[in-house]
């Protein structure tokens, strides 16, 4: 039997199990965890729970810490920088005349890497684009081609956010 917490990194996203190292962590709290991609900021979706060992992939990674106010500010700043990076990358894609559609941008928590997700019909030679982006952002750049299903999923998330915002604006008037 193992004590675990469930953490998710995106609102509609998969839940990953981590070892809370004996700490009592409530659902809705934010934590910093070590993943295969580096340090990540995530929300606790499942508070402390005991689960049989056979249901777990061992070894469980441990949480680094419960997120501090400084961590929350950095996460919010990363989200703002992602929007800026999206605009800059779209401009660079047009400049290089590449036939690709940028769908999402993701900064790693410690800003050690900037990931750009795109869709395209075929293979794209984006080496010059990566060089330009690395010179601008001064961090490691990774471009990942996603399939049609992934693109639709990401667009659906954006549509839901837009729809929610519009409904709030409409109902404020009444």
The 3-class secondary structure across the chain, one letter per residue, is CEEEEEEECCCCCCCEEEECCCCCCCCCCEEEEEECCEEEEEEEEEEEEEECHHHCCCCCCEEEEECCHHHHHHHHHHHHHHHHHHHHHHHHHHHCCCCCEEEEEEECCCCCEEEEEEECCCCCCCHHHHHHHHHHHCCEEEEEECCHHHHHHHHHHHHHHHHHHHHHHHHHCC
Comparing 2-11, 16-25, 35-44, 156-165, the range with the smallest average pLDDT is 156-165
Predicted pLDDT of residue 147: 75
- 97-149 pLDDT, tens digit each: 999 999 899 999 999 999 999 988 888 899 999 999 999 999 999 999 887 66
Residue 150's pLDDT band, with cuts at 50, 70 and 90, is low
* Per-residue tokens: 86: 């999206």
User: For the chain, where do the domains classified as CATH 3.30.300 start and end?
Assistant: 74-172
Residue 155's pLDDT band, with cuts at 50, 70 and 90, is low
Q: pTM here?
A: 0.75
Task: Answer yes or no: is pLDDT of 55 > 70.
Answer: yes
Mean pLDDT of the chain: 87
Which architecture, in CATH terms, is 74-172? 2-Layer Sandwich (3.30)
Closest CA to 4 of 41, 51, 39: 51
Task: Answer yes or no: is pLDDT of 64 > 70.
Answer: yes
Comparing 22-31, 52-61, 110-119, the range with the smallest average pLDDT is 52-61
Task: Answer yes or no: is pLDDT of 173 > 80.
Answer: no
């Amino acid at each position: 039997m193992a004590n675990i917490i469930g953490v998710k990194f995106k609102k509609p996203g998969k839940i990953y199990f981590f070892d809370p190292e004996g700490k009592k962590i409530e659902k809705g709290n934010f934590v910093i965890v070590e993943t295969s991609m580096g340090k990540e900021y995530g929300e606790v979706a499942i508070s402390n729970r005991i689960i049989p060992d056979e249901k777990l992939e061992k070894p469980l990674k441990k949480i680094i810490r419960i997120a501090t106010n400084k961590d929350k500010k950095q996460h919010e700043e990363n989200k703002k920088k992602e929007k800026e990076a999206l605009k800059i990358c779209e401009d660079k894609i047009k400049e290089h005349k590449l036939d690709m559609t940028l769908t999402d941008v993701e900064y790693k928590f410690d800003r050690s890497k900037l990931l750009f997700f795109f869709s395209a019909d075929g293979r794209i030679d984006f080496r010059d684009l990566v060089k330009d982006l690395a010179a601008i952002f001064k961090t490691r750049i990774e471009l990942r081609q996603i399939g049609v299903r992934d693109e639709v999923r990401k667009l659906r998330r954006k549509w839901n956010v837009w729809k929610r915002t519009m409904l709030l604006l409409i109902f404020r008037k009444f």
